[in-house]
């Protein structure tokens, strides 16, 4: 094996691969080297010398440019290649396998013919980089090895910051075929960006656990270990009895040096990264988690070790920890931000004045520049990002690499909701939380995906876009997962975006720190809560001292009454939208979900008859 490509591997590359004794891996590498036809191949064994070579190649090829602060570089994606391509991301499913019609799928044989035709000779004249990673902590029950083939040094560099090295893990797995395999090519480049966007494809083969990505550079389409491998892992977890989730993992610090580990699921640009990095708390991970039941406990790990976060709006007041990292020396890749004349990075929302000119995703930029449709181009793209290893964070949790994971005390679901949900609420129990807060999670769309922003969209568990199994089965998996736990984590819903009826924000961004502290206290039953038709909400007498202690702000009872008013018409409308979605778009919707929605509806109707359409908290005391 590998003899056909030994010349392109070189003796050092051949030796590195030969030390991994896995016939399937060798077969796949040989097959795709021959198909993609690179002129040479670089095999990374996770040594510092290899990592430095990849950084140098990213600069030499023009995929990244150095900025004025040491260690900072910037990458620009093509103008039409700056978000996840939902339409072009498809599952390859055999004709004889029944699949959920909501999955964006193509016949496996047809899809393989198409993608193989697209990537045939796509790397001609280029260098292929082969890197190995471990999803989850190494030497752990949670671990999944993954091998990445890419002709983009930027992608390889990004993954080196985001994921744990896995070369040694592959040397340990022997002939096991339980690993993910990823093939990516940016395709033909023009001015350093992918040219043939019409040929952009992201195909996921769950039968072989392979991801294909072609003619794209944006991280969400190319960093195969992220949401693309997440789809593979969801499928694998469903068969093996665990969960793969679009969730942060963090340590919330309570009284007497207590640390309570919380998970949180938020759609993109809804506060997930900022929640995971709250001042005074510690972060395990900000995006993807694997969940397992171990000795009767729900335990979780961060699949990654770095952050690929949205940068818009980050400033020293609202996000002091991230801002400190982004403005000081360290290995950071910025993408699609503005670079001014002196090589400084600027993004919308950063401290200081907006530069009047510079270079951004549109090329040379100046204040007031318009695109081809006459729309003003902002200094940084709404989906501009940053990538760094979490070791740069001062608040990294000491258990980030714990092979046993961390024990979970609570799960948070949060979306972008301007008019319905209160800022923080606790579910009555596991089933109520999973069905009403998780499976019924609704959020307003953002710039993180292609399409129109501001549209209400149901996003179950903030994971709907990434599901590789039928949604009905996914919900059943969750309900079953809660059984047999010695301690069942509490489930919460948060909403950082509530507005009054004139459209004005009702809470300051820093208030999320208070909601988090309240949830930590509720996990341990240190404070009581008020039962409403939709869930348990905080008492004023508990929030007032928290506001003073946590953010040094007063909290008036009038403000409490306004933001925790139960808006009955809006909640009823939301239930109707959720029921319509599950009736029309989901096969075999669990009866438990429909029943939970009906029960919530009845509670709201009863409250409306007693107290009216908008009910302040004291009515429920």
Active site residues: 270
State the Cα–Cα distance between residues 228 and 566, nearest whole angstrom. 38
Q: If DSSP codes are grouped into helix, strand and coil, which group holds residue 191?
A: coil
Tokens of 484: 């047999």
Whether 101 contacts 587, CB under 8 Å: yes
CA distances from 588 to 192, 263, 583 (A): 47, 28, 9
- Beta pairing, strands 210-214 & 180-185: parallel
E strands present in 276-384: 282-285, 289-294, 297-302, 306-310, 332-335, 338-339, 345-346, 357-360, 363-366
Is residue 267 within 8 Å of 416, Cβ to Cβ? yes
| Alpha-carbon gap, residue 85 to 80, rounded angstroms | 10
How far is 462 from 445, CA to CA, in rounded Å? 12
SS3 300: strand
Contact, 562 vs 536, CB < 8 A?
A: no
Residues 614 and 422: their CA atoms lie apart, in Å, by 12
**Radius of gyration of the CA atoms of the chain, in A:** 24
CA-to-CA dists, residue 501 to 493, 562, 563, 612, angstroms: 21, 11, 11, 17
Six token digits for residue 158: 């990004």
Task: For residues 573 and 561, give the distance between their C-alpha atoms in angstroms, rounded to a whole number.
Answer: 22
Q: What are the Cα distances from residue 131, in Å, to 20, 33, 105, 184?
A: 13, 14, 28, 12
């Amino acid at each position: 094996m590998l003899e056909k490509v030994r010349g392109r591997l070189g003796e050092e590359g051949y030796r590195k691969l030969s030390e991994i004794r896995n016939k399937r891996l060798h077969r796949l590498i040989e097959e795709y080297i021959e198909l993609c036809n690179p002129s040479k191949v670089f095999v990374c064994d996770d040594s510092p010398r290899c990592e430095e070579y990849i950084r140098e190649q990213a600069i030499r090829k023009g995929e990244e440019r150095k900025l004025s602060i040491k260690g900072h570089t910037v990458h620009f994606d093509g103008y039409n290649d700056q978000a996840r391509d939902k339409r072009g991301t498809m599952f390859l499913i055999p004709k004889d396998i029944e699949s959920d019609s909501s999955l964006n799928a193509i016949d496996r044989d047809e899809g393989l013919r198409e993608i193989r035709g697209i990537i045939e000779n796509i790397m001609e004249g280029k260098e292929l980089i082969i890197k190995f990673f471990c999803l989850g902590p190494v030497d752990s029950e949670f671990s999944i090895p993954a091998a990445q083939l890419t002709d983009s040094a930027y992608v390889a560099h990004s993954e080196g910051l985001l994921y744990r090295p896995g070369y040694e893990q592959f040397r340990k797995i022997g002939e096991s075929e339980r690993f993910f395999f990823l093939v990516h090519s940016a395709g033909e480049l023009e001015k350093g960006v992918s040219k043939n966007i019409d040929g952009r494809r992201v195909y996921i083969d769950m039968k072989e656990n392979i991801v294909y990505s072609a003619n794209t550079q944006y991280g969400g389409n190319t960093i195969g270990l992220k949401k693309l491998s997440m789809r593979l892992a969801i499928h694998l977890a469903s068969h093996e009895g665990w969960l793969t989730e679009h969730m942060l993992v963090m340590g919330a610090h309570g009284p007497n040096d207590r640390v309570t580990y919380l998970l949180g699921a938020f759609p993109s640009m809804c506060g997930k990264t900022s929640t995971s990095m709250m001042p005074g708390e510690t972060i395990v991970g900000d995006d993807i988690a694997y969940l397992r039941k171990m000795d009767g406990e729900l335990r979780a790990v961060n699949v990654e070790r770095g952050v690929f976060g949205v940068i818009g709006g980050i400033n020293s007041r609202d996000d002091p920890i991230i801002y400190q990292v982004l403005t000081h020396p360290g290995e950071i890749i910025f993408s699609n931000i503005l670079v001014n004349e002196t090589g400084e990075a600027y993004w919308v929302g950063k401290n200081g004045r907006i530069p009047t000119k510079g270079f951004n995703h549109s090329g040379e930029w100046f204040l007031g520049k318009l695109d081809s449709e006459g729309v003003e181009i902002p200094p940084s793209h709404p989906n501009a990002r940053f990538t760094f290893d979490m070791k740069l964070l001062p608040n990294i949790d000491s258990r980030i690499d714990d092979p046993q994971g961390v024990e979970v005390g609570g799960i948070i679901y949060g979306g972008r909701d301007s008019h319905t949900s209160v800022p923080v609420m606790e579910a009555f129990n596991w089933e109520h939380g999973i069905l009403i807060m998780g499976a019924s999670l609704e959020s307003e769309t953002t710039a993180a995906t292609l399409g129109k922003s501001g549209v209400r969209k149901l996003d179950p568990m903030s994971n709907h876009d990434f599901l590789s199994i039928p949604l009905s089965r996914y919900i059943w998996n969750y309900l079953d997962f809660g059984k047999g736990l010695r301690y069942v984590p509490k489930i919460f819903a948060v909403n950082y975006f509530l507005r009054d009826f004139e459209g004005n924000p009702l809470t300051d961004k820093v208030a999320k720190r208070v909601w988090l502290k309240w949830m930590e206290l509720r996990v341990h039953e240190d404070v009581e809560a008020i039962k409403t038709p939709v869930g348990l909400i905080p008492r004023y007498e508990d929030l007032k001292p928290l506001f003073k202690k946590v953010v040094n702000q007063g909290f008036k009872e009038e403000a409490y009454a306004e933001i925790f008013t139960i808006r009955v018409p809006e909640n009823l409308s939301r239930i109707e939208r959720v029921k319509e979605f599950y009736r029309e778009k989901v096969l075999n919707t669990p009866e438990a979900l429909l029943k939970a929605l009906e029960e919530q509806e009845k509670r709201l109707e009863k409250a409306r008859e007693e107290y009216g359409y908008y009910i302040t908290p004291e009515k429920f005391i």
